[in-house]
Amino acid sequence: MDLERALNAFHSMRVKQITPPLAQMPVVEENSAIIDVMKILRTRHHVWVVNNKEDMKLVGVIRYLDVIDILLPPRRARLGTISSLFKSIMGGAEKARDVMERNVLTIEEDATVLEALEKMKKYRVGILALVDCEGRLKGEISLRLLITEFLRLIRMGGEEWRQQHGSSLQSD
């Protein structure tokens, strides 16, 4: 398989084909305690926040670096700025909904890898939430997953591809 064919096949794949099962994803309900969120963030870079585990409607995301605001004492808000005041435990934050970012970058579950890559580039992010037409969380697609899938495609291309194109793209 030549590089161009591999890339074309890769770009046309549906993101839902390569997303991990929902059970493996970091997900909490919006009324989950901040302590439970922090336990997940010890080993993950983000946690998706849903209204509840039955509906799975995506309502926010909490990123690893958001923990800084959670742990810092509250700072006085300046007029016209969004304050981290209420994201602090000392400022009264108790639940995931109190500290989550509500503007989540999403992509439809039927989108292609190319569409995901373009959105990641445009917004300079490494992960997107996969949602259905009703906004329910269906998965996630990360740059790490995309790299893994691309390397898998190249490996499937066989030894002749690697011999033709040098060793720089060989699989791990």
Residue count (the chain): 172
50 touches 57 (CB < 8 A): yes
pLDDT of 167 over the 50 cut: no
Give residue limits of the domains in the chain.
3-165
Assign 162 a pLDDT band (cuts: 50, 70, 90).
Answer: very low
Residue 78 C-beta-side C-alpha neighbours within 13 Å: 1
Distances from the Cα of 17 to the Cα of 29, 87, 121, 139, 149, angstroms: 25, 36, 21, 10, 10
DSSP bridge pairs for 69: none
Assign 168 a pLDDT band (cuts: 50, 70, 90).
Answer: very low
Assign 72 a pLDDT band (cuts: 50, 70, 90).
Answer: confident
Q: What is the pLDDT of residue 160?
A: 42
| CATH superfamily label, 3-165 | CBS-domain (3.10.580.10)
Give per-residue pLDDT as tens, 100-157. 999 999 999 999 999 999 999 999 999 999 999 999 999 999 999 999 999 888 887 6
Percent of the chain with pLDDT over 70: 83
106 touches 129 (CB < 8 A): yes
